Homo-oligomer: A and B are copies of this chain.
């Protein structure tokens, strides 16, 4: 089933202990789309500037990602520059230029109208909600957000949460959103805000899936997926968005979103997040095979299963 994703398509300049790359193709919607494209059909809504050319377009095309919703505007694309020199778990931002993204008004191509799955990547919750309302036919909606929206745009974010089936955020964001440092209590508080499922990402320690009471009545349970202990983390940029792409892409590929499908989706999320870190930007996500993905899924199973 097709996923429509709305979010940023950007250029990133990234420095890590492994080196530096100038103006890699990046942005949450890019990482998400590439990761999800290994599982299902993906359609993007974003805005880019005149610096987004044939090479960038080709990356999406090579994965049959529908780019008709990527608007070309006058000016430059969203640009981010950051480094992870002291701590691979936390980016230090050196420069953010919103450019054409500052005036982003998501436009949904008519051809996207039959998407049954919608992913609201980390953008202004006002825009997330607008896209959600414009796509009433979707049957499952997932989304991401970040500390900035949680702190300073809470009212708009709470409106988004009411319409979400699945929220994917990290530990710090979950604790901040709930105002509670205990993860179990924080998860319960976040689920009370609307989402039926909450995925809390723990970086190198994996991620935990929490389900609401109604889902638990149907056999869903709390589930923890590990992250792969990686010999070499070249660039953690986009690992969370790649997790979301693997997770939601797998769910969308399934005939039914059963509790067992959610658990496998957690593994596929971790799988895609682990691949994303192995090379700079989206390099590794661009060249995967489904066999590599399934081999790593099996590695995750061996890493966690007793027998």
Q: Report which A residues bind B (CB closer than 8 A).
A: 88, 181-185, 187, 202, 204-206, 208, 221-224, 226, 229-233, 260, 263-264, 267, 301-307
Contact = CB atoms under 8 A, between A and B. Distances in A.
A260 B260 CA distance: 25
Contact of A305 (B88, B202, B305): B305
Contacts of A301: 306
Contact of A306 (B184, B206, B263): B263
A183 B307 contact: no
5 contacts: A182-B231, A208-B229, A224-B226, A224-B229, A260-B307
Contacts of A184: 229-231
B205 A303 contact: no
A288 to B, nearest CB: 21
A206 B208 contact: no
Tallying the copies of this chain within the complex gives 2
A2 to B, nearest CB: 26
A208 B233 CA distance: 18
A83 to B, nearest CB: 15
Given A202-B205, A205-B202, A205-B205, A229 B306 contact: no
Contact of A233 (B182, B222, B303): B182
Contacts of A305: 304-306
A221 B302 contact: yes
Given A183-B204, A185-B231, A187-B229, 13 more contacts: A182-B230, A184-B229, A184-B230, A206-B224, A221-B302, A221-B303, A223-B304, A224-B303, A224-B304, A260-B306, A260-B307, A267-B306, A304-B304
Contacts of A267: 306
A32 to B, nearest CB: 23
Nearest to A226: B224
A182 B232 contact: yes
Contacts of A88: 181
Nearest to A227: B224
A10 B232 CA distance: 42
Contacts of A187: 229
Given A205-B202, A205-B205, A303 B231 contact: no
Nearest to A87: B181
Contacts of A182: 230-233
